[in-house]
Amino acid sequence: MAIDYHHLKNRDFPPVHQHYTERDTMLYALSLGLGSNPLDDRALPFCYEGVAGGLRALPTQAVVLGYPGFWAREPDTGLDWTRLLHGEQRLRIHQPIAPAGQVVGYTRVTRIIDKGASKGAIMVSERRLDDAAGNRLATIEQVTFLRGDGGYSTQGAGQPSDEPLPTLPATPSDRAPDFSDTFDIPPDTALLYRLSGDFNPLHADPAIARSSGFERPILHGLATYALAAYAILRQCCDHDPARLRAFDVRFSAPVYPGETLVTEIWRDPHDATRLHLSARVPQRDVEVLSRGYAECLPT
């Protein structure tokens, strides 16, 4: 059964009102492994409210706020949700995320691109995150690869295919990175990260992971995403979350809890505020994040 382009593009997503506390903010940081080194005082402001200046929220916490849940699984979508893949994540921070507050998430489907019957389709959803007063905090875009829904535009009248998003820039291949960041991911990271709202058993249940073709539960893509963003904060933003204003990546391969993440970062030669990055797992010699792009404000 082909998906209904017009239904998805006009689908009603009720606003998601969420109150989050400093405890939620600390749990988000701790679930990523921040604080695993008790002597790393640079990570402490994200995990402990008693530091000078108070608790800070990681900028990527925006992606778990105002979240509408795994709505692709709902029957009205017509999506083959068992074959979805998270392809890319894009984020624009308009104002720093507070360590506690009230937010509202507004979700909509902005693009659906038909790649062909044997090639799948691409769906882009956007979430606008506002504070209680209606001020824009962040704009979040998720690119989803619909492996089982290709060819929809040829199976029904009036089923168009949208133009794709602009391609993320490639990382430099002609020079070494300007920064390299290494982070050892604790083995329990996936079990902790799921407490931020993504309860997909793929990240917790070994039997389900094996049935999906993985040797063991994999780490959430958005956890890997957040760790790469934290690498940027460490290497390029002096641990100041207010300086990171944009972060985009393409997911290339899964990460397993307990592995090491090496994030390589290049300065853009034409604009010092722009960065390019990729991330890899050296144990398996595999690139897990590609075509990364970030914007970091100067001091």
Query: Is-catalytic flag, 94?
Result: no
Cα gap 268→274, rounded to integer Å: 5
Whether the predicted pLDDT of 49 surpasses 70: yes
pLDDT in tens, 226-264: 999 999 999 999 999 999 999 999 999 999 999 999 999
Query: Is-catalytic flag, 184?
Result: no
pLDDT in tens, 1-16: 679 999 999 999 999 9
Confidence of residue 166 (pLDDT cuts 50, 70, 90): very high
Identify the pLDDT of residue 55.
98
Q: Which residues neighbour 292 within 8 Å (Cβ) at sequence distance 6 or greater?
A: 168, 171, 228, 247, 248, 249, 250, 275, 276, 277, 278, 279
Identify the pLDDT of residue 155.
78
Instruction: Give the SS3 label for residue 194.
Output: helix
Query: Is-catalytic flag, 265?
Result: no
Q: What pTM was computed for the model?
A: 0.95
Query: Is-catalytic flag, 97?
Result: no
Domains of the chain: 1-162 (3.10.129.10), 167-299 (3.10.129.10)
Instruction: Give the SS3 label for residue 83.
Output: helix
Residue 253: HSE in the Cβ half-sphere, 13 Å Cα cutoff: 13
Determine which one of 181, 221, 248, 265 is catalytic. 221
Determine which one of 66, 203, 232, 276 is catalytic. 203
Q: Calculate the average pLDDT of the chain.
A: 95
Determine which one of 198, 220, 232, 276 is catalytic. 198
Give the DSSP H or E segment for 84. Answer: strand 84-93
Identify the pLDDT of residue 1.
63
